[in-house]
Amino acid sequence: MDSTQKISHLALDIGGTLIKLVYFSANGDYSEESRNGCSVVHGKLCFAKFETRKIDDCLEFIRFNILHHSGVQHPNGEALDKLYVKATGGGAFKFADLFKEKLGILFDKEDEMHSLVGGVNFLLKTVPREAFTYLDGQKEFVKIDHNDLYPYLLVNIGSGVSMIKVDGDGKYERISGTSLGGGTFLGLGKLLTKCKSFDELLELSHHGNNRVIDMLVGDIYGGTDYSKIGLSSTAIASSFGKAISDGKELEDYQPEDVARSLLRMISNNIGQIAYLNALRFGLKRIFFGGFFIRGLEYTMDTISVAVHFWSRGEAKAMFLRHEGFLGALGAFTSYNNQSHNDLKPHHHTVQRAILNCSGDNLRHIPVTSNLNDSETIECSINLV
């Protein structure tokens, strides 16, 4: 990291599996111009993530790369050692003491769901080419009309899955969810394949063939479709259903095939439940996010196919390029909200930066290659 960059802002989303960080990194020169009595800082929103079980790495990262650069102070003017940082996710509660002890950071806890929705709304409204569909290997960016954004269904696939109906800024409701999520994929996957990491498991699934272990419609009906009810012979009748009768042990199956079946089972299930919930509220757009997706083509494809299948093409699954950082982004943008409440004219500190969320000041770095988790968003902030 460029040592000249000044890191002034940080928000965390501490989930059951991963810790996601969003922080602002200034380009070096603090204020270029002054507008409305505010100085504007150009910089980047940076993204980082750590496995929750390796929280020490995260602490180190924050200590060296973030805190090092800024003697941050809370707007209330309390002592410097009382450093407040926006945090969301279940870990904001669980690890509050740890952060206080190790880094002297106090969590300003943001509601998880609220952060999530805030993050998505922010992305959809400010970052062009954020949403895309993925079907048959074709990624297609979708232009979202800001005036016709709501309502939509947000499906956040973390360890578990939350399904949120979003009706506007700060207007949302968690309408459903499922416990079959990313945690299930990784948890079961680890038990079944001895993979050590999520990425390894995903990689495995790329090379697998689910027909080895899934019971397909054709397996039941002797290779023929059950066309009467619209099931093709390759449709999965029962995930892992072939493991019943084969007389094979776990060791007899290729880990690749197991990972593939698992991925399909979970993706398909999420797609189906999401569709049913969208149907319930007449929502045409479903955005999928959360670390499980990870821009992984096969996952996105399975979810898209499930939504497409169940909705008979009526509903579309859409994905977000920053899907892994929705909560963290939401927490980050919530500094903004708070500032309005706390705004005190004479309280000017360099440290107290407010991200200007009007799209004008925000520019996305176009990417040509694969999506990258650490992809940054170029933006500017107003310093009050």
Partner 1 sequence: MAGQEDEHDPILDDKKEAEAKSEVCVGGGERDMAPSTSGTSIHRSGSRPQLDLSKAEIQGNLEERDPTILLPNQSDDISHLALDIGGSLIKLLYFSRHEDYSNDGDKRKRTIKERLGITNGNLRSYPVLGGRLHFVKFETHKINECLDFIHSKQLHRRDPYPWSSKTLPLGTGVIKVTGGGAYKFADLFKERLGVSIEKEDEMHCLVSGANFLLKAIRHEAFTHMEGEKEFVQIDPNDLYPYLLVNVGSGVSIIKVDGEGKFERVSGTNVGGGTYWGLGRLLTKCKSFDELLELSQKGDNSAIDMLVGDIYGGMDYSKIGLSASTIASSFGKAISENKELDDYRPEDISLSLLRMISYNIGQISYLNALRFGLKRIFFGGFFIRGHAYTMDTISFAVHFWSKGEMQAMFLRHEGFLGALGAFMSYEKHGLDDLMSHQLVERFPMGAPYTGGNIHGPPLGDLNEKISWMEKFVRRGTEITAPVPMTPSKTTGLGGFEVPSSRGSALRSDASALNVGVLHFVPTLEVFPLLADPKTYEPNTIDLSDQGEREYWLKVLSEHLPDLVDTAVASEGGTEDAKRRGDAFARAFSAHLARLMEEPAAYGKLGLANLLELREECLREFQFVDAYRSIKQRENEASLAVLPDLLEELDSMSEEARLLTLIEGVLAANIFDWGSRACVDLYHKGTIIEIYRMSRNKMQRPWRVDDFDAFKERMLGSGGKQPHRHKRALLFVDNSGADVILGMLPLAREFLRRGTEVVLVANSLPALNDVTAMELPDIVAGAAKHCDILRRAAEMGGLLVDAMVNPGDGSKKDSTSAPLMVVENGCGSPCIDLRQVSSELAAAAKDADLVVLEGMGRALHTNFNAQFKCEALKLAMVKNQRLAEKLIKGNIYDCVCRYEPPSL
Binding site for partner 1 (CB under 8 A): 15-17, 51-53, 89-91, 93-94, 111-113, 158-160, 174, 176, 178-184, 186-188, 190-192, 194, 213-215, 220-222, 228-230, 235-245, 249-250, 253, 258, 265, 268-269, 272-273, 276-277, 279-280, 310
Closer by beta carbon to partner 1, 171 or else 344: 171
Largest CA distance in the chain: 78
Check the CA dihedral 303-273-180-15 and report its sign.
Answer: positive
Which is closer to partner 1, CB of 104 or CB of 230? 230
Q: What distance lies between CA 376 and its chain's CA centroid?
A: 15
Report, in Å, the least distance between residue 288 CB and partner 1: 16
**Alpha-carbon span 300 to 296, nearest angstrom:** 6
Shortest separation between residue 262's beta carbon and partner 1, angstroms = 9
Nearer to partner 1, 43 or 91 (CB): 91
Cα torsion through 80, 85, 90, 93, rounded to 10: 20
Distance CA 335, CA 341 (A): 10
Nearer to partner 1, 236 or 377 (CB): 236
Min dist CB 343 to partner 1, Å, is 27
Q: How far is the CB of 180 from partner 1 (least distance, A)?
A: 6
Cα distance between residue 300 and residue 284, in whole Å: 17
Residue 152: strand, helix, or coil: strand
Which pair of tokens denotes residue 207?
């090379």
In angstroms, rounded to a whole number, what is the distance separating the alpha carbons of residues 83 and 94?
A: 18
- In the complex with partner 1, which residue's Cβ is closer, 41 or 243? 243
Q: In the bound complex, what is the minimum distance in angstroms from residue 89's beta carbon to partner 1?
A: 8
